[in-house]
């Protein structure tokens, strides 16, 4: 029972991420093929068979146009006109009920993904009350009174949290790096710092059969000599601590220390 559950769980851990990745790629590819790109049919002949490359070419062209558009808008944002254009879009979207929530959430998600962990410095453990500790991050900034400014994110949504000002003796620096601390927060505490494979995760001793134990090992464990070895009593020989028949020697005693 435990063996098939372990095998099934190990298979899910390996296959489910692959299936999700393939599904997402297929979904994106299917939507890109419907982008109205001005491109005619592309058919090539390979070995006497016609190979239609229209859809792959349309997807590649759509991706290329999107990349060029991103670079163009990014270059525009470096100018005063671009910053004014961005503020105008933000003001417009924030005045639209319902849309502003989607717009701000998506913008914050993109900013968090692109900024990465460069803006977050050393993670620390902050004691909030009565020995309860939470994971926070140094921002590298200080308040006017000299207190350290920390960012205390929520889990598993790290885009929200609290900006707090604390004394240096209120937190403790830890050995984790930023990536490990964020993994722990994003997984709601279930993530591990070390990568654990499927075999390691389900290869516990609970579902395994006990290994074989030889007779000599059992004898050593019980503290008794093994009768099959030289240290044990052979057939017809008197055990240690006794005398054989007709022996005039006094009995010997054994001291174990």
Instruction: Point out the least confidently predicted range of 1-15, 50-64, 167-181, 207-221.
Output: 207-221
Q: Is the pLDDT of residue 215 over 80?
A: no
3 state SS of 44 = strand
Q: What local confidence, expressed as pLDDT, does residue 245 receive?
A: 47
The domain containing residue 70 runs over which residues? 14-76
User: What value, to the nearest 5°, has the Cα angle with vertex 119 and ends 163 and 125?
Assistant: 50
Residue 224 lies in a domain: no
Residue with tokens 């001005």: 38
Q: Please state, for a pLDDT cut of 90, what percent of the chain lies above it.
A: 11
Residue 246 lies in a domain: no
Q: What local confidence, expressed as pLDDT, does residue 255 receive?
A: 47
Residues 70 and 87 in one domain: no
> Taking all residues of the chain, what is their mean pLDDT, rounded to a whole number?
75
Residue 226 lies in a domain: no
Q: Is the pLDDT of residue 251 over 70?
A: no
3 state SS of 92 = helix
Residue 170 lies in a domain: yes
Q: Is the pLDDT of residue 113 over 80?
A: no
What average pLDDT does the segment 252-257 reach?
49
Residues 111 and 126 in one domain: no
Q: Of 3, 8, 10, which Cα lies nearest the Cα of 208?
A: 3
User: pLDDT band at residue 34, thresholds of 50, 70 and 90?
Assistant: confident
The C-alpha atoms of residue 133 and residue 150 are separated, in whole angstroms, by 14
Instruction: Point out the least confidently predicted range of 21-25, 180-184, 234-238.
Output: 234-238
Residue 202 lies in a domain: no
Domain end among 48, 76, 104: 76
Residues 106 and 128 in one domain: no
Residues 130 and 180 in one domain: yes
Is the dihedral angle over the CA atoms 166, 170, 171, 172 positive or is it negative? Answer: positive
Residues 89 and 110 in one domain: yes
User: pLDDT band at residue 57, thresholds of 50, 70 and 90?
Assistant: confident
Q: How remote is the C-alpha of 172 from its chain's centroid?
A: 24
Q: How many domains does one find in the chain? A: 3
Q: Of 136, 188, 186, 131, which Cα lies nearest the Cα of 165?
A: 136
Residue 104 lies in a domain: yes
Residues 44 and 29 in one domain: yes
The C-alpha atoms of residue 186 and residue 183 are separated, in whole angstroms, by 5
Residues 41 and 89 in one domain: no
Residue 244 lies in a domain: no
Beta strands in 109-254 (DSSP E): 123-129, 132-142, 148-153, 161-166, 171-173
What average pLDDT does the segment 3-15 reach?
85
Q: Around 157, how many Cα atoms within 13 Å sit in the side-chain half-sphere?
A: 7
Residues 186 and 138 in one domain: yes
The C-alpha atoms of residue 51 and residue 53 are separated, in whole angstroms, by 6
pTM of the model: 0.47
Residues 40 and 103 in one domain: no
Residue 240 lies in a domain: no
Q: Is the pLDDT of residue 218 over 90?
A: no
Q: What local confidence, expressed as pLDDT, does residue 68 receive?
A: 94
Residues 129 and 168 in one domain: yes
Domain end among 115, 138, 167: 115
Residues 91 and 103 in one domain: yes
- The 10s digit of each residue's pLDDT in 82-111 is 889 889 998 998 888 888 888 888 887 787
Q: Of 145, 148, 142, 149, which Cα lies nearest the Cα of 163?
A: 149
Residues 32 and 50 in one domain: yes
The C-alpha atoms of residue 202 and residue 187 are separated, in whole angstroms, by 19
């Amino acid at each position: 029972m435990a063996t098939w559950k372990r095998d099934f769980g190990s298979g899910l851990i390996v296959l489910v991420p692959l299936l999700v990745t393939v599904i997402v790629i297929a979904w994106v590819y299917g939507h890109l093929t419907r982008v109205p790109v001005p491109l005619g049919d592309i058919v090539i002949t390979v070995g006497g068979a016609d190979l239609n490359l229209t859809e792959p070419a349309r997807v590649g062209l759509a991706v290329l146009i999107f990349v060029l558009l991103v670079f163009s808008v990014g270059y525009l944002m470096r100018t005063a006109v671009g910053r004014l254009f961005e503020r105008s879009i933000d003001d417009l979207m924030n005045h639209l009920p319902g849309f502003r929530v989607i717009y701000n959430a998506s913008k914050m998600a993109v900013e968090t993904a692109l900024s990465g962990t460069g803006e977050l410095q050393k993670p620390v453990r902050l004691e909030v009350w009565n020995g309860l500790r939470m994971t926070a991050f140094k921002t590298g900034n200080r308040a006017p009174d000299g207190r350290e400014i920390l960012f205390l994110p929520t889990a598993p949504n790290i885009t929200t949290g609290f900006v707090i000002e604390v004394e240096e003796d209120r937190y403790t620096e830890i050995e984790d790096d930023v990536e490990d601390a964020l993994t722990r927060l994003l997984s709601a505490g279930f993530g591990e710092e070390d990568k654990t494979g499927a075999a390691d995760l389900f290869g516990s001793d609970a579902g395994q059969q006990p290994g074989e134990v030889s007779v000599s090992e059992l004898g050593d464990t019980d503290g008794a000599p093994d009768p099959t070895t030289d240290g044990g009593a052979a057939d017809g020989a008197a055990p240690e601590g006794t005398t054989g028949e007709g022996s005039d020697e006094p009995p010997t005693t054994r001291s174990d220390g």
